[in-house]
Amino acid sequence: MRIVLTGGGTGGHIYPALAIGKQVMEEQPGSSILYIGSPKGLESRIVPAQGIPFESVEITGFRRKLSFENVRTVMRFLKGVRRSKQLLRDFKPDIVVGTGGYVCGPVIYAAAKLGIPTLIHEQNAVAGLTNQFLSRYASSVAVSFKDALSQFKRQSNTLFTGNPCATSVVRADKEQGYARLNIPAGSQVVLLVGGSRGAKAINDVMVDMAPLLQRLPDVHFVFVTGESYYENTKRRMEEVQPARSERLQVLPYLHHMPEVLAISDLVVGRAGASSIAELTALGIPSILIPSPNVTNNHQEANARSLVDAGAAEMILERNLNGELLFERISRIINSKATRTAMSAAAKSLGVPDSAALIVNELKQLTTRQK
């Protein structure tokens, strides 16, 4: 199979695309992949590091208010379509897959105009504007949340697949998770993480909560600050908790997140699409603190899907404080029955074989084309 992947801007768009590409290579060794992204987005660094050929298209998003800049955006879009058509003609893909972000616009549109089968994947419970626009042209639309199905008008070509990021975490080795943290196997673990770059609000509340952790002496806390926040947050925690606890690890980043997730009894973090996919695939109870600084407030909608199912609790950032978070953590971690129920609810929402489902749809689309 010759496949073009496109998606960018954030890891939430990039990693699902890479997961699909990985599944394609596993099922069909010898396949060829080209990734088309934006020259300044995260994908321009992440994708080449994976050894995947990368090409770029200049594009920006529309402003929600009337602006002359939108005229320039239209011109960039048309230029991006021309550039995309040339890249597609040169590569000759069997199918093109878009996972969101502005760069998907010209690439998927160009593929549709060239008669190449296309699939777009929506990670969030609230569909993004780019994917809603592209759904008119895409051969298939895959969604991570059942709540998103109704947001696409062409129901006949829309399918629930879950998020392909889930596939990698279900293969994680628990023994490696304990070994990487250097803690005894079977220990209770609470993971607190604000995303790959960290979150100031979560870092601040962890500092507030640090003096209370001694009330849970049998629990290991793993706190990931994000690299840019690490030194300042660690210093502040040492000020409020001078005696260093062996059951608290403060880290700037986790390079082996799947293994650590696999041993976590409870996760406290944001409600990004990839994180939700990992939590539900593994059936991990969670306390979600959605970021208020995202388009369409989609993280709160993501979190609400888990809360409504009984898989998670949610604390809005404006209500967040150390005592409240510690009370929630204590209640969940001290009740095996609560964790069991939340875990079962989370698993009921997960799709561990998401990447395989999407690749199966790709095979069907390319077969129909032939």
Over residues 297-327, the pLDDT tens digits come to 889 999 999 999 999 999 999 999 999 999 9
Query: What mean pLDDT is predicted for residues 80-101?
Result: 96
Beta-strand ranges (E) seen in 54-170 are 54-56, 95-98, 118-122, 140-143, 158-160
Domain count, the chain: 2
How many other C-beta atoms can be found within 10 angstroms of the C-beta atom of residue 228? 12
How many other C-beta atoms can be found within 10 angstroms of the C-beta atom of residue 197? 13
Element (H, E) at 190: strand 188-193
Digit-coded pLDDT (tens) for 40-77: 888 999 999 999 999 999 886 555 554 555 557 677 88
The two tokens of residue 33 are 């992949």
Cα gap 76→370, rounded to integer Å: 33
> Taking a C-beta distance cutoff of 8 angstroms, is the pair 201, 276 a contact?
no
196 is in an annotated binding site: yes
Cα gap 22→50, rounded to integer Å: 10
Cα gap 344→120, rounded to integer Å: 29
Digit-coded pLDDT (tens) for 1-38: 999 999 988 888 999 999 999 999 999 999 999 999 99
Cα gap 212→327, rounded to integer Å: 10
Closest CA to 192 of 231, 220, 227: 220
pLDDT at 47: 96
12 is in an annotated binding site: yes
Cα gap 370→156, rounded to integer Å: 21
- Tell me if the pTM is above 0.85: no
Same domain flag for 25 and 130 = yes
CATH number at residue 46: 3.40.50.2000
Same domain flag for 248 and 327 = yes
> Above 90 in pLDDT, residue 270?
yes
Same domain flag for 108 and 247 = no
The two tokens of residue 305 are 């899907």
Same domain flag for 153 and 182 = no
Binned at pLDDT 50, 70 and 90, residue 295 comes out as confident
pLDDT at 256: 85
Same domain flag for 145 and 15 = yes
Closest CA to 139 of 107, 106, 115: 115
Same domain flag for 100 and 217 = no
Same domain flag for 107 and 213 = no
Same domain flag for 16 and 95 = yes
Digit-coded pLDDT (tens) for 30-40: 999 999 999 98
> Minimum mean pLDDT among 47-51, 238-242, 337-341: which range?
238-242
Its domain, for residue 345, covers 171-349
The two tokens of residue 216 are 């849970």
Distances (CA, A) of 129 to 100, 105, 122, 154, 315: 9, 10, 10, 15, 27
Percent of all residues in the chain with a pLDDT value above 90, rounded to a whole number: 70
10 is in an annotated binding site: yes
Same domain flag for 149 and 43 = yes
The two tokens of residue 223 are 């706190």
> Above 90 in pLDDT, residue 125?
no
Same domain flag for 82 and 128 = yes
Cα gap 19→6, rounded to integer Å: 12
